[in-house]
Amino acid sequence: MKKLLFSAGVLLLTTGAFAQTKMTSETARFGIKAGVNLSTYSGSGANSNVDYKNNVGYNVTAFGDFGVGNNFFIQPGISLQNKGAKVERTTTVGGSALTGTWKQNVMALEVPVNAVFRIPTGDAGAVQISAGPYIGFNISGKNKYTGEYVSPSTTATTLTDRDLSFGSDSNKDLSSIDFGANFGLAYRTSSGFLVGANYGLGLSNLIPKDNRSNDSKLTNRVLGFSVGYSF
């Protein structure tokens, strides 16, 4: 079975690489795509016991495809990524169960550079598999509270919405810069329309440098879906 699957995979890649519909080293095109993000945080240390849930956001990306070989190209871009996470908590205070939600929305400007391998599917279009690094700059954000949310660091139940601040100082909410890796799968039709999914694996610690303790770490995890067009 393993040999059969391996042979089928080799046949698929070979067929794609030598199909008549190719993207060559002389090809260049540009496009735009937009869609929905399901973002959350992965925490360790002091944040390891926090149950971070998905926050629904959006993504908008302008990109270029530059061929460097048959059915292989480099795809740099510039992207607005709505990230963050939410926490739903029930806390007993004075014998009463208080339930509320904390949601953190973060807007980041990202610069991804992906390597993309293209597998043509005849005249209809091609499957595109991508991977590469990104660097992101957190530019705005907000903490929002609903219900009767009680923070672990306080017994207050009347927390108010507020804007986030970014930097390395201990009084900041998050670091200014984020970097990580992207992994994507998409389908592009011969007419230029595309649909795809992308997973962003954050590698840098979002906790401000001067506020880290006990190996505490917070990183982004983003699953994005998008549709777009390139020409």
CB within 8 Å of 110: residues ≥ 6 apart: 78, 79, 80, 81, 134, 135, 136, 137
For residue 87, which phi and psi values (nearest 5 degrees)?
-130, 130
- What integer pLDDT is reported at residue 85 of this predicted model? 97
- What integer pLDDT is reported at residue 19 of this predicted model? 36
21 by Cβ neighbours in 10 Å (0-12 / 13-18 / 19+) ranks as middle
Query: 139, 119 in Cβ contact below 8 A?
Result: no
- What integer pLDDT is reported at residue 159 of this predicted model? 81
| SS3 state of residue 38 | strand
Annotate 77-110 with three-state secondary structure. Answer: EEEEEEEEEEEEEEEEECCEEEEEEEEEEEEEEE
Q: What tens-digit pLDDT sequence spans the chain (231 residues)? A: 334 334 434 333 333 333 335 667 668 999 999 999 999 999 988 788 889 999 999 999 999 999 999 999 999 999 999 999 999 988 877 777 888 999 999 999 999 999 999 999 999 999 999 999 999 999 999 999 998 888 776 666 668 899 999 999 999 999 999 999 999 999 999 999 999 999 999 999 999 999 888 788 999 999 999 999 999
Amino acid residing at 146: T
- What integer pLDDT is reported at residue 8 of this predicted model? 37
- What integer pLDDT is reported at residue 26 of this predicted model? 63
* CATH number for the domain harbouring residue 73: 2.40.160.20
For residue 168, which phi and psi values (nearest 5 degrees)?
-105, -10
Distance, CA of 214 to CA of 45 (rounded, Å): 6
Number of domains in the chain: 1
153 by Cβ neighbours in 10 Å (0-12 / 13-18 / 19+) ranks as exposed
Domain that holds residue 192: 2-230
This prediction's pTM: 0.84
Distance, CA of 177 to CA of 203 (rounded, Å): 11
